[in-house]
Structure 1
Amino acid sequence: MKNYFAKCLIFCCLMSMAGCINDLNVTPIDPNKHTAEKVYKSEEDLMSGLGKLYNGLSHTGQYGPAGDQDLDDVDEGTSNYWRTYWNIQELSTDEAINGWNDNGLDELNYGLVNASNLITRAMYYRLVYEVVLTNEFIRKAEEVRKPSWKNVPQMIAEARFLRALSYYNCLELFGNGVPFVTEADPIGSFLPKPAGKQFGHELFDYIEKELRAISGLDDSDAQLADARQGYIGRADKGAALALLAKLYLNHKSFFSEDGQVENADYYQKGAQVIDLLTTAGYGVVAKADLPANAKFSAYQSLFLADNQNQQKEIMFQLSYDGRYMQSWGGATFLTCGAILNNMNAAYFGVNEGWNGTRGLWNLYHNFHQKTDLRAQADSIFYTQGRQIDGPIDLKDANTGFGVGKFRNVNIDGTLATNDGKNVMVDVNIPVFRYADVILMAAEFDLRLGKSVSANHLALINELQKRAGNREISSSSAIDLDWILQERGRELYWEGCRRTDLIRFNKYTSGTAPYVWAYKGGQVNGRALPMQARWLPIPASDISANPNIIQNKGY
């Protein structure tokens, strides 16, 4: 880690995020000519360092799409943060399956991994790596900042957000026992200790404190830009509040082996955060928001190459550009990897499909109304020539169905810019969407023992209207089961399904409808053991650091 840190911290890829007004369009720093001690001489230098922190969520090294990678011992494309996170969150659930021969992929499809699994190991070290980079950036920024550098407090707040996001992903995937370090801990001076025991509160409390500070809920001199007032592709208070709401909503998954210990105070805090978000100027992108020449629906517009124009709903994104921000993970993986052999790659703005990720029939049947615009036949869900409810063969991409949610074309149907080979894509990945906030709002109501409020019901009906569904006339029609199903309809393939199923105590279930193909390693599926709710800490880290204790069951 020290070797990669020395090389990577001080280097920023050319960040050319659409809509950033050149704020992250900075000159790369040559790691062969500079050291961490010498590089931060100006506010512009710090902006370059901040660019590398954001780059760590979208890309895999110093040069896209491959070359001089951040993490060793794993295919560079596989080590991409969102590709790895997405695989963990989706392939182990009722929404997706992928039969490639990638090392460790089969075990993800089963929901059964061990401490040597390559993909979960890549996720673990990607998160730890991001924490290391953010810690050092914060430390250096505090050391070199001058009173005249007015933007530094916000830069530090953004780095703290990115660190909180990485620690949140650690918590939801690996538990509280991951190694814990901050900017107060000099790198290489000791072997990190865990935040606490696997089901402790330490990491949760730290993330909560950080997010409340940088979002302005508690006092801090380093705060993010106000919601919807920051640059596209960079975190603002809206992003921090959305992550804080998720932390509160999922709290019971973190504190006990069975994930059933609830604290109403956290739900109440979460509801208060949601109130701030629903009055912050966000909204549901509707047909009326689209240009007159739009060729796609309002829902599809959120996952196209020019989705940077939908910041009304997209609260935080990972930015990609087919020419300047290339990766074999991220948006390219989501687009090309899901194009099956009977789907026209050109329709998706690329010249090749990878015949990989498919939808499971559980996902298809979750859409009770087949006219739902979020699952249009042969426009988003590709079932033509495929036997509905036919058996799934893990290694046969002709089983299951195609999901064309992400595509590298603009809202008017024109081809997006690309790498000249029509492979790399421009699609930005929505990490937090206002639609998710709406569904969280209703869930907080229900978990607090209340019915869904009239205001939140009205917001849910905005989603129903966009989907082409009938409005829901009464909040009595909405219960927690409906919320889980609707999250599967609105947010499918957006990297949140595993966490949702765990929160609803359905992930390990052996009862229909929450049994799916290859769950538990059986063709027709079966219940998962309790320890499958969290991932094992990699055996390599357990061996290297005697302070770290393996998670229960591994």
Structure 2
Amino acid sequence: MQVFKNINMKRKASIAAISGIIMLTAASCAKLNETPYGSVYVDSGGAASSSDLNGVYSQLFGQTDQANTYALQEHPTDEMMGPTRGTDWGDFGTWRKLHTHTWTPSHNQVSDTWDQLNIGVYRASQVIQRATDNKIKAEASFLRAYFMFQVVDLYGQAPYRDPSAPNSALPIVYNRADATAFIIKDLEFAEANLTTSANIGVASKAAADALLAKVYLNKAVYTAASVGGPFTFAKADMDKVIEYANKVTAAGYTLEPAGKYFQDFAWDNTEQSHGNIFGIYNTPTNVPASAKNRWKMGLHYNQTPDGWNGFTTLADFYKSFEATDERRGVDYPGLTDKVGLRAGFAVGQQYGPGHVALKQRGGQPLVFTENVNLNFSTEAQGIRVFKYFPHPNADGTVPDNGEDNDYVILRYADVLLEKAEAILRGGTDPSGQTALLIVNQVRVPRGASALTSVDLTALLAERGRELYWEGWRRNDLIRFEKFNDPVDQRPAKTDKTKTVYPIPQRAVDTNPNLKQNAGY
């Protein structure tokens, strides 16, 4: 594994950093890892077209990378870490600093994520300003809301530059509460003007409903007097969460049946999933943003397919699952029988094709252990996670390209658990469902035992078990005021200022409207 194999950011021409955001000239995109975003030119005249809108969608492709947005949302939590293994995965401490909450305003992924998300906001704004077709405008409004939601969630403030403003104008900066109102307004417009979609790669009314539920659930966090809480959840906001969650249910989304949890993430999730609402649509002949990072980052070099032997989960998180819980790990037809890889968590002796016990590069048995050291790990330490996985050929070979798993951003189980949480926080469901009923609706088909009661602590744990490694854990922990608690390899409680990242130093230096977050 090369140093910085997957976070070596290379910039294509005509993106320039200016005024704390990114000023787009002939608007092209960043190249991240192995998958280019693509490029789009949005000129200053004429109505926005579908090709212009495609350029905004292409900015989502970076969400499938294991760095940047995904890393900032997962590595600082109780469910992921990136241990250094000899000379592998040192990467100048970028992963360690995320897990230990020791990042600074010059952290490379803090800066790159800021750029990536704000480019998305700006491109969407260009399309919205020029759109004459309300459907194009609604899709762009949804995408702008998503990108700005991530900016607000990660950084606590959001710069905004009007596309019609002169190049010399500095972007204004919305505080967290005002940015949240801006996001809600965008989503309400999208929700009113979108319908159903043929696939998860196109914004739909249900996607807008799902994101509105998430925004209202987090509104107390974004409007609090100080970062990190305490938070006061208004009943009116919780009722909104329930309202939008019920709309998603009415649109026909359902949970996967018993024994089919991993169907939402498998190679045929386009055809088989009942609960995927929004994400990135891939087909065997068109893979704009492969999900293969999600399995490559944990696979050992000697597994099939081979991987980068990187990230692990924490043993305490793994132990939170009952042994009968399908989400903990299962043999998956067409995968395990072909290459030996199981879906879910991988711990203990690992096997290859023909159920042959695998070995490490030095000849020792390839046994993934629960124990792992963030600074000094061997190549076999740490429990690996394979929520997404490749599609082996009939002969057991695995194609390196063409992985057509749709990448999921919003899914129905998340919406249901948000509804349960809103009920626990004082909201009222017109249909009379209880939080306990909803949580068991999610748990029991997975093989977990039915709960007899549920409180916020149990609800947070269930969100972890259902949504692990999907990029929502940091968001959840902050809302439950648990983000700063000690975890394995981070033994001391951290300060609440760490619930937002710093504004990149170069952004603060170029835009006086941006003020550095407290604690940095």
> Which bin holds the TM-score, normalised by the shorter protein?
0.7 to 0.9
Inter-partner Cα distance in structure 2 for 1:340 and 1:29: 34
**Is the 1:380–1:404 Cα contact (8 Å) retained in structure 2?**
yes
Task: For 1:106, give the aligned amino acid.
Answer: R
Inter-partner Cα distance in structure 2 for 1:416 and 1:84: 33
Cα deviation digits, residues 239-285 of structure 1 (max 9, x gap): 11111111111122222323223123211222222222222211012
Alignment pair present for 1:170 and 2:151:
yes
Alignment pair present for 1:48 and 2:51:
yes
**Residue of 201, 212, 221 corresponding to 1:244:** 212
**Residue of 423, 427, 434 corresponding to 2:405:** 427
TM-fit CA distance, 1:479: 0.7
**Is the 1:393–1:399 Cα contact (8 Å) retained in structure 2?**
no
**Residue of 372, 379, 391 corresponding to 1:409:** 391
**Is the 2:420–2:434 Cα contact (8 Å) retained in structure 1?**
no
Alignment pair present for 1:224 and 2:194:
yes
Cα deviation digits, residues 83-111 of structure 1 (max 9, x gap): 42111111111111113123422211212
**Residue of 257, 260, 263 corresponding to 2:230:** 260
2:476 counterpart residue number: 500
2:361 counterpart residue number: none
Distance 1:108 1:129, change over 3 A: same
Inter-partner Cα distance in structure 2 for 1:282 and 1:256: 37
Q: Show the 5 A alignment for 1:58-73.
A: 58-59=61-62
**Is the 2:275–2:412 Cα contact (8 Å) retained in structure 1?**
yes
Inter-partner Cα distance in structure 2 for 1:433 and 1:388: 31
Distance 1:322 1:187, change over 3 A: farther
**Residue of 423, 426, 439 corresponding to 1:460:** 439
Q: Show the 5 A alignment for 1:162-201.
A: 162-176=143-157, 178-183=158-163, 185-186=164-165, 188-196=167-175, 200-201=176-177
Inter-partner Cα distance in structure 2 for 1:29 and 1:83: 20
TM-fit CA distance, 1:232: 3.4
Distance 1:300 1:415, change over 3 A: farther
TM-fit CA distance, 1:161: 0.5
1:67 counterpart residue number: none
TM-fit CA distance, 1:158: 0.3
Q: Show the 5 A alignment for 1:524-539.
A: 525-539=491-505
Inter-partner Cα distance in structure 2 for 1:29 and 1:270: 36
Alignment pair present for 1:110 and 2:104:
no
Cα deviation digits, residues 127-161 of structure 1 (max 9, x gap): 111111111122232xxx4xxxxxx2111100010
Q: Show the 5 A alignment for 1:483-498.
A: 483-498=459-474
**Residue of 246, 265, 280 corresponding to 1:318:** 280
SS in 2 for 1:422: coil
2:422 counterpart residue number: 444
Alignment pair present for 1:331 and 2:266:
no
TM-score with structure 1 length normalisation? 0.75
Structure with the higher fraction of residues in strand conformation: 2
Inter-partner Cα distance in structure 1 for 2:211 and 2:440: 24
SS in 2 for 1:381: strand
1:157 counterpart residue number: 138
TM-fit CA distance, 1:487: 0.6
SS in 2 for 1:430: strand
2:509 counterpart residue number: 543
Task: For 2:235, give the aligned amino acid.
Answer: A
Inter-partner Cα distance in structure 1 for 2:39 and 2:279: 24
TM-fit CA distance, 1:470: 2.9
Distance 1:469 1:453, change over 3 A: farther
Distance 1:488 1:500, change over 3 A: same
TM-fit CA distance, 1:398: 2.2
Cα deviation digits, residues 48-78 of structure 1 (max 9, x gap): 111111111115xxxxxxxxxxxxxxxxxxx
Cα deviation digits, residues 23-45 of structure 1 (max 9, x gap): xxxxx9886xxx7146x57xxx7
Any stretches of 5+ residues in structure 2 without a counterpart?
1-13, 17-22, 31-37, 84-88, 331-341, 350-366
Inter-partner Cα distance in structure 1 for 2:281 and 2:71: 19
Distance 1:80 1:465, change over 3 A: closer
2:489 counterpart residue number: 518
1:120 counterpart residue number: 110
Inter-partner Cα distance in structure 2 for 1:234 and 1:440: 23
Inter-partner Cα distance in structure 2 for 1:49 and 1:416: 41
**Is the 1:392–1:517 Cα contact (8 Å) retained in structure 2?**
no
Any stretches of 5+ residues in structure 1 without a counterpart?
12-27, 60-78, 146-151, 217-222, 288-296, 347-351, 510-514, 520-524
1:482 counterpart residue number: 458
Q: Show the 5 A alignment for 1:129-168.
A: 129-141=119-131, 145=132, 152-168=133-149
TM-fit CA distance, 1:546: 1.5
**Is the 1:338–1:353 Cα contact (8 Å) retained in structure 2?**
yes
Cα deviation digits, residues 341-370 of structure 1 (max 9, x gap): 46x223xxxxx2110111111221111x11
**Is the 1:305–1:425 Cα contact (8 Å) retained in structure 2?**
yes
TM-fit CA distance, 1:323: 5.6
**Is the 1:443–1:483 Cα contact (8 Å) retained in structure 2?**
yes
2:5 counterpart residue number: none
Task: For 2:323, give the aligned amino acid.
Answer: K
Inter-partner Cα distance in structure 1 for 2:250 and 2:403: 34
Inter-partner Cα distance in structure 2 for 1:261 and 1:341: 45
SS in 2 for 1:535: coil
Inter-partner Cα distance in structure 2 for 1:415 and 1:225: 42
**Is the 1:317–1:428 Cα contact (8 Å) retained in structure 2?**
yes
Alignment pair present for 1:89 and 2:89:
no
Distance 1:314 1:29, change over 3 A: closer
TM-score with structure 2 length normalisation? 0.80
**Is the 1:417–1:426 Cα contact (8 Å) retained in structure 2?**
no
Distance 1:379 1:9, change over 3 A: closer
Cα deviation digits, residues 398-449 of structure 1 (max 9, x gap): 2221112111228xx859998xx51563222111110011111110110007
TM-fit CA distance, 1:189: 4.0
Distance 1:532 1:415, change over 3 A: farther
Distance 1:487 1:382, change over 3 A: same
Task: For 1:155, give the aligned amino acid.
Answer: I
Inter-partner Cα distance in structure 2 for 1:370 and 1:30: 49
**Is the 2:191–2:208 Cα contact (8 Å) retained in structure 1?**
yes
**Is the 2:238–2:426 Cα contact (8 Å) retained in structure 1?**
yes
Cα deviation digits, residues 470-493 of structure 1 (max 9, x gap): 334x4xx11111110001100000
**Is the 2:242–2:428 Cα contact (8 Å) retained in structure 1?**
no
1:371 counterpart residue number: 324
